[in-house]
Structure 1
C-alpha cells in the first residue's frame, strides 16, 4: 500500500499508469490470441486466452490496492473521485478483453467463411488499437500535469482522445458489416457458430466502447 501512496505523492497518474501497463499487456495478449484463432492454431489461442484471464485478475488486484491506498488526505492536482472513476473505467477495458477471451475458449468453430474471420480479426485489431491509445493518453495526462498544463501537452492529449473516438466509430461500422455477413451466410453457418461469432464481435466492440469511456473521463479531468 505504501508503494502506491508514494506514487500518488509524485503524481495522481503514476499509479494509474502502472495499472494501465497491465491492461495494455492484457489486450496485447488478446490480440495474439485472435491472430492464433484466425490462423487456426487453437492450441496457442487457448494458451493465450487463459493468459488474458490471468492478467485481468492481476489488473483487478492492482485496482483494489490503488483504491484502498488512495487517502482523502492526499493533496493531488485532480480530485480523488475523478481518479477513482477513471481507474474503474480503465479496468473495464481489461474486463472486456477477458470477456472476448472467454468466448474464444467456449468452442472451436466449424469452418467459418474467410470473410467473417477476416472481419473479426480486423475488429479485434481496431478495438485493441483504441485500448492501446488509452494507455498513451494516461501517460500523456501525466505529462500534462508535470508541465503545469502547458498548451502543447494539452493539445497532444486532445489529439489522442480524438483518435480513440475515431477508432470507436470505425468499430461500429465493422460490427454492422459483420452482422450482415452472418445473415448472408446463414445457410452455411450452424446456429452455434453464428451465435459464437456475434458474441465475439460484441465483446470486441465493447473493448473500444470502454476505451472511449475512459478517454471521455480524461477529457472531463482536463476541463475541470
Structure 2
C-alpha cells in the first residue's frame, strides 16, 4: 500500500483517477467475456472472469485508502461529497460488472445469432461510455489547476455531453434488444431468456452509471 500512500501525498485526485481506470478496464474485460462466449471456450471465459475479479480487488484496495485518507474541510479544494459520489458510482459499476460476469460465465450465456450484431454494438457502447467517464475524471487535476474554468472546463463539459448522448443511445439499443429477444422467447430455455433480459438491464445500469459520473462532474463545475 505504500505506493498508494505516496499518491495521496502528491494529490488526493490521483487515486480516484486510478480507480476510474480500473473500472474502465473491468468494463472492457466484460466485453471480452461476451465475445469469448460467441465461440465457446470455457477456459478463456474463466481466465477473463479471474481478471475481472483481480481488477475488482485492486479497485477495492484503492477505495479503502480513499475513504481512510481523503482530506477533509480546508484541505479539500472542492466538495468532498462530490468525490465520494463519483467513487460510489464507480463502485456500483464494478459490482454490476462482477455480477454480469458471473452469470455469463457460470451459465455459458450465449446470445442468439441474429441478435449478436446488435448486442456487440451495445457492449462496445458500454465500453466507450466507461472510457469516456474515465477520461473525464482524468481531467480533475487540470481542472484544479485552472480553477474549474477556461478551456479545460469546456473540454470536460463536452465529454459530459458525450456521456449523456451515449446514455440516450443505450436506451434505444436496449429497446431494440428487448424486442429482438422477445421474438426468441418460445425457442429459448425460460431461465436463459430471463437471465438475458437481466443482463441487458444490467448493462444499461453500467452505462447509466457513467452518465451519473458526468452529472457529478457537472455539479462540481457549477459549484466552482
Structures share fold, TM-score greater than 0.5: yes
* Cα root mean square deviation, aligned: 2.1
**Do the aligned residues in 2 keep the contact of 1:12 with 1:78 (CA within 8 Å)?**
no
Instruction: Using structure 1 for the length normalisation, give the TM-score.
Output: 0.90
- Determine if contact 1:11/1:76 at 8 Å carries over to the other structure: no
Distance 1:98 1:163, change over 3 A: same
Q: SS state of the match for residue 57, structure 1?
A: helix
- Three-state SS of the structure 1 residue aligned to 2:148 is coil
Alpha-carbon deviation of 1:81?
2.1
Change (3 A) 1:149 1:10: farther
**Partner SS state of residue 185, structure 1:** helix
Question: Quick check: 1:83 aligned with 2:83?
Answer: yes
Q: Given the superposition, is the C-alpha separation of residues 74 and 36 from structure 1 closer, same or farther in structure 2, using an over 3 Å criterion?
A: farther
Is 1:39 aligned to 2:43, yes or no? no
Q: Give 1:165 shift.
A: 0.9
Deviations 1:45-78 (A, max 9, x none): 2220232123112212211111111232561221
Number of aligned residues: 223
Range with bigger deviation, 188-197 or 72-81: 72-81
Distance 1:3 1:82, change over 3 A: farther
For the structure 1 residues 55 and 74, does the alpha-carbon distance in structure 2 shift closer, same or farther, using more than 3 Å as the test? farther
Residue of structure 1 equivalent to 2:119 = 120
CA contact (8 A) 2:37 2:109 kept: no
- Cα 1:72–1:127 change in 2 (3 A) is same
Contact 2:8 2:69 in 1 (8 A): no
Unaligned runs of 5+ in 1: none
Runs of 4+ displaced beyond 6 Å: none
- Counterpart Cα distance in 2 of 1:93 and 1:107: 21
Supply the distance in 2 between the matched residues of 1:52 and 1:153 (Cα, whole angstroms): 32
CA deviations 1:118-159 (Å, max 9, x no partner) are: 322221111121111111001122211123334111110011
Alpha-carbon distance in structure 2 between the residues aligned to 1:124 and 1:117: 10
What are the Cα deviations for residues 63-108 of structure 1, in whole angstroms up to 9, with x where unaligned? 1111111232561221222222221112222222112211212312
Q: 1:109 to 1:207 in 2, by over 3 A?
A: closer
In structure 2, C-alpha distance between the alignment counterparts of 1:126 and 1:27, rounded to whole Å: 10
* Structure 1 residue 12: Cα displacement: 3.6
Answer whether contact 1:4 1:69 (CA < 8 A) is retained.
no
Please list every run of 5 or more consecutive structure 2 residues that lacks an aligned counterpart in the other structure: none
Q: Is the 8 A contact 1:4 1:66 kept in 2?
A: no
Deviation at 1:117, TM superposition (A): 2.5
Distance 2:25 2:51 in 1: 10
Asked if 2 retains the 8 angstrom alpha-carbon contact of 1:130 and 1:208, the reply is: yes
User: What aligned pairs does 1:53-92 form with structure 2 within 5 A after superposition?
Assistant: 53-72=53-72, 75-92=75-92
- Name the structure 2 match of 1:28: 28
